[in-house]
Amino acid sequence: MKKVEEYIRNIPDFPEEGIIFRDVTTVLQDAEGLKLAIDSMIRLLDGVDFDVVAGTESRGFIFGVPIAYALGKPFVPIRKKGKLPCETISAKYDLEYGSAEIEMHRDSIVPGQKAILVDDLIATGGTIKACTKLIEELGGEVVKIIFLMELAGLKGRDKLGKYDVDSVVIYDGK
């Protein structure tokens, strides 16, 4: 049986020279690869008590929704600013060049709910750190954060020091 990393396409020198881009579309385009990725992420949740799955736009949706479905849990979308129709809360975070802002519905987390966060990749950790702030602002507790891939060389996990963080595939570099 193949490993998840065998389904991930590596593209050298993209978006700039010296970077190896880890392309998740090849996982999504292969039925066995997609099933293996989702099943592997679900295994990271063994023994974790939680009420809700939250995921970031857009690849956190791709992986988070089937995890929520398989485990019989609701899914909470965390989106880019201006995309949600009801009352929201927001958090800004820094990017390599500039900043961004994410939002979630004010009623998407009930105080005391235990949440897991799902995304495809952790790089610098800014986006997912902003997600933790939103959940906690609503009175929720982040009990686990899972990723399909991690670029350990960018030290994003360091920003998430107090959280239980796990990744299916960890790459040493950037």
Dist CA 96 CA 98 (whole Å):
6
Task: Out of 59, 79, 103, 150, pick the active-site residue.
Answer: 59
| Residue 153 CB neighbour total at 10 angstroms | 11
Whether residue 17 lies in the annotated active site: no
Active site residue 32: no
Q: Which alpha helices (H) appear in 15-77, and where do they start and end?
A: 25-28, 31-43, 59-71
Alpha carbon dihedral 13, 19, 20, 24, in 10-degree steps, equals -100
Q: Among 16, 17, 87, 96, which one carries the catalytic annotation? A: 96
Buried b (16+ CB within 10 A) or exposed e, 97-119: eeeeebbbbeebbeeebbbbbbb
**Do residues 148 and 167 make contact, with C-beta atoms less than 8 angstroms apart?**
yes
Show which residues are catalytic: 59, 96
